[in-house]
Amino acid sequence: MKELGKFLSTAIPEQLEQAWKEVEPFKDVGPTITKYIESMEEIKEAYCNYEVAQLLKEKGFDELCILKYNSDGIKVKAGQAIDEWSNTELEEDECSAPTHQMACAWVRKKYNLYICPKLACFCGGRKSDKEYYEWEDRVLKLTTNNQVHPQFAEIHKYYDTYEEAVEAGLKFVLTEVI
């Protein structure tokens, strides 16, 4: 990725044009190269939204987090004097802002529930004529011998991003299951 970035930043227009001619036949296969590069540059940690963070607090989530939501629902980062917060250290109208990974790990450890977004691909689906990708939201419960519980229903709703599917899975578990 670094080599590609270096090439793109130092190439002259003729080199860029030639490179584009070589990859243009593949532009409709999955995301375009431009979108792929943009998405790689925009990778950030996904945090639970305010509503899910409040639900987690209500259900007993009390892990240390470097971000919190203030009473206005705005994310605030821990300062130099404070490295991390847990919900028991916060005011009643505040809550910690965990990452999706932290929240899913807590749900998995405490309730044996697995939030498992699954990539689903559709061609010419409901959004466009071209192929596109969606994420299917799934929540699984394991039995004592680590098999998927046969009577536990999967959710079959679709989301545009992995993060939206995780957020929806967390909200479903926190409002409908736990």
Q: Are residues 153 and 75 in the same domain?
A: yes
Q: What is the pLDDT of residue 62?
A: 96
Reply yes or no on whether the pLDDT at 124 is more than 70: no
**Is there a single domain that holds both residue 17 and residue 60?**
no
Do 93 and 156 fall into the same domain? yes
How confident is the model over 64-93, as a mean pLDDT? Answer: 83
Residue in this structure with the two tokens 């991390």, named with its chain if needed: 84
What was the pLDDT predicted at 110? 93
d(CA 100, CA 20): 37
36, 64: one domain: no
7/24 Cα distance (integer angstroms): 17
Give me the domain span that covers residue 18.
2-41
**pLDDT of 8:** 66
For the chain, what is the mean pLDDT?
A: 77
Per-residue pLDDT tens over the stretch 79-120: 655 678 889 989 899 999 999 999 999 999 999 888 888 777
Indicate the number of domains in the chain.
2
